[in-house]
Chain A
Amino acid sequence: MSEMKKIKNLKEFSTSADRFEGANLLCPGCAHSIIVREVLNATNDDLVLAASTGCLEVCTAVYPYTSWDASWIHIGFENGSTAVAGAEAMYKALKNKGRLKQPDRNPKFVAFGGDGASYDIGFQWISGCMERGHNMMYVVLDNEVYANTGGQRSSSTPIGASATTTPAGRVSYGETKNKKDMMSIMAAHHIPYAAQVAPNKWKDMVKKIQHGMEVDGPVFINAVSPCTTEWKFDPKDTMHITDLATDSLVFPLYEIIDGHELNITYRPKNVVPVEEYLAAQGRFKHLFKDEYKYLIKEWQERVDANWAYLNRREEARV
């Protein structure tokens, strides 16, 4: 077991490793790069990384350039998880055979994927990796939309969001389905650790990533990643939108240990009404028409119910 990295303050943290270069093609204000840096900076260990096809992938490894100063692989849209699982298997094989080039290194294996690559097309591959118990971390950059292909809905897209394949229109308020509950599904694999994180709560994130890297077995991390392009907000407001997501409890921060023990890790001092979160984003603009205002009320009820459920789960200590 390697020694856990000690972090004193945000400035030191944000500049403490440079394995993901600022030189990339992600949109200004994109939360992906912030989350990736936070994940990579949380550890000093060697890393073997994978990304599924998506914004992160197409913006960071455009030949002949790369933004990655750690070994990195991309195969396809659906199989970033299995790419890392294969690499992890090879690490174990070579370690047992005494053939590692640097046998004293203790690498961590991390795969990144968007919500499309994780909630939808790559769902089966992730489930397989979790079930088989690979020593790896899977991080969802959850921007609730197929951003890379121009804003189609995914099964993470929330009710009422206008996406290009579920556009708001004269007789439609946009997406009609509930966001898939990936945390519960992944926890149901009885993996040692699953957590929701947000880039604005960086200390919480670091703690969870460090815990995830230390446990033996598969780890699932769901990171909210506000998308300036598809959520339609000003690039300077990424952290503001993220604050609204966590403080309205639309995106609650919690962890599930060994598939059952749930801990809420962030309780906002002042809970913000969901309406404020929705009002800050262009994708929900149409909900403020008179005929759709009932949806905002339903939104609030849904978020309240989920928060109550998480609290009951935590109190139950089951």
Chain B
Amino acid sequence: MAFDKMELRDIEVWDGNFAAAQALRQCQIDVVSAYPITPSTPIVEGYAKFLADNYIEGEFVMVESEHAAMSGCIGASAAGGRVATATSSQGFALMVETLYQASGMRLPIVLNVVNRALAAPLNVNGDHSDMYLGRDSGWIQLDAYSPQEAYDLNFIAFRVAEDHDVRLPCMVHQDGFMTSHTAQGVKTMDDDTAYSFVGDFKPMNDMLDFEHPVTHGVQTEEDWHFEHKARQHNDLMTKVMPKIQTAFDDFEKLTGRKYNIVEKYDMEDADIAVVCMGTSVETAREVAKEMRGKGVKAGVVGLRVIRPFPFFEVQEALKDVKAIAALDRSSPNGAPGMLFNELAGALYNTDTKALLSGYVYGLGGRDLTKKHLTDLYSELQANVDAGKVLTPLQQFIGVRGPKLQFL
């Protein structure tokens, strides 16, 4: 039984979850193996409904846990077809073991991660704790700031992950509730155009090729383990960015929508810059625009690709600024924030004299307001004027009680 095409308007009103579900439908996934968790659940619910309505042909395996969800994805991907799933927070944490296995076995699975806080205390709302938890797992990590981007980046994800030079799994992140449950206008592609961008799945070493049996998931000890891990790391560091750039370029040609590995806003002559991810990028852009009105040369750098970390693009974007704020939406638990650390690492051996300070914000769904960012830009400007960081290196934004600041 052939499936039906879906007629879409040029612009549909979708939230981030439904946008991701539509992208999965249009990519014609062969197997989805999933377990529901807030706030990502509507992605697989949407997929299930498309299946129920004959808009999809494929297998939907509703497993008994997130660990099993990724285990099923790994088995299905090794068997040789297009595979995807979605998760958040605790489910992501339960998956972590299998995330390393998927990347170590070089399987091009796409995982939509709707970012949410990690317990305890239990919290269903958005922050980047789960995104950060996955940062060493060997997956490519893309970040969408809006439903439109959640839709678009899924196509990019399959295109890059399934490239035979890459063969690494890819996460598409979006902010829990803020992106996943906020409906906006989303420019669509028709089914054929969308599918043409990702193309047919091309299996490699698939278990269902009975003329060429394969062994997946071998044992290595000190004699080979290092070579496997080093090669995987090398491919992440050297092969992925050019493929992402090509995919971005091709996507722009197809849709007119331009993506960059690092998204720069008003950075041409900026003195001060905020570096952040997710929905806060848009808020920071709004505030930067207002600061420009007050004569402050403010800019914003948003990371579109989190892993591999875009060292050169970040260095280039920040080379002329005088003060930088790294905004981390995860509790660093005993160190400066991840983004702070990574920016420090990327900039240390460059000629920049920029003053770097770190801010932790928005944990468990706490709002980041324009007032917060206006104050933050003012602090950065004060640092520039004084020629040194006047505040502690690490501050918490908008937390009740005594001001929390360290280092």
Contacts and interface: CB of A to CB of B under 8 A. Distances in A.
> How large, as a class, is the contact surface on chain A?
35 or more
Interface string A50-80: 1000000110011110101111111110110
A101 B101 CA distance: 26
B295 to A, nearest CB: 58
Contact of B72 (A64, A86, A94, A131): A86
B71 A82 contact: yes
A73 B75 contact: yes
Contacts of A75: 71, 74-75, 98, 101, 105, 217
A65 to B, nearest CB: 9
A71 B214 contact: yes
Contact of A48 (B58, B64, B81, B207): B207
A127 interface: yes
Contacts of A105: 210
B58 A93 contact: yes
A87 B217 CA distance: 14
B30 interface: yes
B218 A61 contact: yes
Contact of B219 (A63, A68, A78, A125): A63
Contacts of A85: 61, 63, 72, 75
A128 interface: yes
Interface in B88-106: 97-98, 101, 105
B68 A63 contact: no
A102 interface: yes
A239 B73 CA distance: 39
B61 A132 contact: yes
Contact of B30 (A61, A71, A72, A97): A97
Given A68-B215, A82-B63, A89-B33, A76 B101 contact: yes
Given A61-B217, A66-B215, A76-B101, A89 B208 contact: no
B63 A79 contact: no
A4 interface: no
Contacts of B210: 46, 71, 101-102, 105, 107
Contacts of B206: 101
Interface string B267-307: 00000000000000000000000000000000000000000
Interface string B214-245: 11111110001000100000000000000000
Contact of B208 (A48, A78, A96): A48
A93 to B, nearest CB: 4
B59 interface: yes
A13 interface: no
A92 B33 CA distance: 14
A306 interface: no
Contacts of B74: 73, 75, 83, 86
A174 B61 CA distance: 42
Contact of B59 (A84, A93, A124): A93
B389 interface: no
Contacts of B73: 86
A64 B224 contact: yes
A87 B208 contact: yes
B44 interface: no
- Of the candidates A64, A83, A101, A102, the one having the most CB atoms from chain B within 10 angstroms of its own CB is A83
A308 interface: no
Interface of B: 30-31, 33, 57-59, 61-65, 67-68, 71-81, 83, 97-98, 101, 105, 203, 206-211, 213-220, 224, 228
14 contacts: A48-B207, A63-B218, A73-B216, A76-B97, A79-B67, A85-B75, A86-B72, A86-B75, A88-B75, A91-B79, A92-B59, A93-B76, A96-B58, A101-B203
6 tightest Cβ-Cβ pairs between the two chains A and B = A86-B75, A128-B64, A71-B207, A90-B79, A79-B71, A83-B75
Given A101-B209, A102-B210, 10 more contacts: A48-B208, A66-B215, A71-B214, A73-B215, A74-B219, A87-B76, A93-B31, A93-B81, A96-B58, A128-B63
Interface of A: 46, 48, 50, 57-58, 61-64, 66, 68-76, 78-79, 82-94, 96-97, 99-102, 105, 107, 124-125, 127-128, 131-132
